[in-house]
Amino acid sequence: MSHEDYLGMRRFPGLDGLRALAATMVIFFHFGGPNWTWLSGWVGVYLFFVLSGFLITTLLLREQDRTGGISLSNFYIRRVFRILPPYLVILGGIVAFVILRGEFHSRDFPQALKYYLTFLNEFLPAATHGADNFFSGSWTLGSASMMR
């Protein structure tokens, strides 16, 4: 592959595969039970963050080559429109699920919802950020999703 071909690539299929592997590692770690404790979910999280950082850096360097600078406002606008729609759909589904189960108040969702809706979930108080809260893992979106 030539350098021009590389610069023209919008996606890196091999890296997408590694990101899928990283996400799968986390899922198996959480749902695999005691037989899967050897598989550290944090390795998957770190791998995902590193790959996202590489991809973001590549995009920003390409923008700098094309335009002579980097627009952080445009970067964050692209991130918001990429992340928030699926985020809000998933949050809505989880809220509906918890309401249908009659656990909205017992899982402390009224307290947590203001953090989830403002995308500030990594600042949730410890009382509402436990394993009992179905959306507690979404802190990673606040950290990583703005990357890619």
113's CB contacts (< 8 A; 6+ apart) are: 95
Q: Please tell me the predicted confidence (pLDDT) of residue 145.
A: 44
pLDDT at 70 over 90: yes
134 and 93 Cβ atoms separated by less than 8 Å = no
Predicted pLDDT at 67: 93
28-36: average pLDDT? 73
The length of the chain in residues reads: 148
Q: Tell me how far apart the terminal alpha carbons of the chain are, to the nearest angstrom.
A: 24
pTM of the model as a whole: 0.68
Q: What is the full DSSP assignment across the chain?
A: --HHHHHH-S--HHHHHHHHHHHHHHHHHHHS-GGGTTS-HHHHHHHHHHHHHHHHHHHHHHHHHHHSS--HHHHHHHHHHHHHHHHHHHHHHHHHHHHHTT-TTTTTHHHHHHHHHTT-GGG--GGGSSTTSTTGGGHHIIIIITT-
Tokens for 22? 């990283």
- Interior angle at CA 44, CA 51 and CA 80, nearest 5: 55
Q: Report pLDDT digits (tens) over 75-120.
A: 889 888 888 888 889 889 988 998 999 988 887 788 888 888 887 7
